Amino acid sequence: MICVVGIGPGGIDEVTPRAMEVIKKCDVIVGYTKYINLLRPALAGKILYSSGMTQERDRCNMALMFAQEFGKTVAVISSGDAGVYGMAGLMLEIAEGSGQEVKVIPGITAANSAAAILGAPLMNDYATISLSDILTDWRTIERRLVAACDGDFVICMYNPASEHRPKHFRKACGILLDNGKSPETPAGYVRNIGREGQQYEVMTLVELMKRKIDMLCTVIIGNSQSYILDGKIITPRGYRA
């Protein structure tokens, strides 16, 4: 059996009890090297297979090999929730026709953890948009940003910027401003969620554009109803009404 396990956005304390129980029962743990290292204290006695970024297909193939050829119970670990920009879909595709059962074990996605740190910005409808154009064409990302503005969604940005994509984040913010988001829209980011060195800021969208945002950040930008109260972002749900 292969279990695709979401391990949450940060430290080992943010792994759900169900996810940790599954990991403990598996013989083999497969994952991105950084995530293996985060869980290493809990992985004593396990067979570990890790690899670097962009080697997701390799990891899934190795997981299938361990399960098929050696009869091992395998956990493929994925940050956040395995079904949100994670490994679940690819593992299901690769295991198709193999006869191997694949179970997806949910985890806490970065949007939820970042929202809890920034206040309560996701109390109404929101959209998650990854700014990485490695697997999604940038024109498609632009269309999604425009559509999210048109629907007045709160927006949570994953993979906002990197060394190879230093201008994507500011470009995305410019698209939001050009399509109806006010410069004063409440916004914020969290860096290193749940890990050593965690930091966050709450500010306006126009101020956020000036910050140095990288791949360690999750960004949330409010809607037209969002406001800042005591340094926290709140998007009202309408309970008073």
Is 202:188 a contact under the CB 8 Å cutoff? yes
Whole-number pLDDT of residue 145: 98
pLDDT attached to residue 54: 85
CATH superfamily, domain at 110-234:
Tetrapyrrole methylase, C-terminal domain (3.30.950.10)
Residues 80-122 pLDDT 10s: 999 999 999 999 999 999 999 999 999 999 999 999 999 999 9
Q: How much is the pLDDT for 240? A: 63
Q: What is the pLDDT of residues 187-222, one digit of tens each?
A: 999 999 988 899 999 999 999 999 999 999 999 999
Closest CA to 220 of 136, 112, 133: 112
Fold of the domain spanning 2-105: Cobalt-precorrin-4 Transmethylase; domain 1 (3.40.1010)
Q: What pLDDT does residue 230 have?
A: 97
SS3 41: helix
Given this model, what pLDDT does residue 195 score? Answer: 87
Q: Is residue 72 over pLDDT 80?
A: yes
Report the amino acid identity of residue 167: K
CB contact burial 190-200 (16+ within 10 A = b; e otherwise):
bbbbbeeeeeb
Tell me what pLDDT residue 12 has: 86
> Look-up: residue for tokens 């593992």?
91
Q: Are 221 and 183 in contact (CB under 8 A)?
A: no
Contacts of 208 (CB under 8 A, 6+ apart): 173, 187, 188, 189, 219, 221
What pLDDT sits at residue 79? 94
> What are the structural domain ranges in the chain?
2-105, 110-234
Q: Which residues contact 127 (CB under 8 A, 6 or more apart)?
A: 144, 148, 151, 153, 154, 155, 156
Q: Is the dihedral of CA 202, 208, 213, 218 positive or negative?
A: positive
Question: What is the rounded CA–CA span in Å between residue 156 and residue 220?
Answer: 4
- Is 168 within 8 Å of 147 (Cβ atoms)? no
pLDDT at 164: 84
Model pLDDT for residues 125-183, shown as the tens digit of each residue? 999 999 999 989 999 999 999 999 999 999 999 999 988 888 999 999 999 999 999 99
Give the pTM.
0.93
- pLDDT tens readout for residues 5-62: 999 987 888 999 999 999 999 999 999 999 999 899 899 999 999 998 889 999 999 9
- Say if residues 29 and 105 touch (Cβ distance below 8 Å): no
DSSP 105-148: E----HHHHHHHHHEETTSS-EEEEE---SSS-HHHHHHHHHHH
pLDDT class of 241 with cuts at 50, 70, 90: low
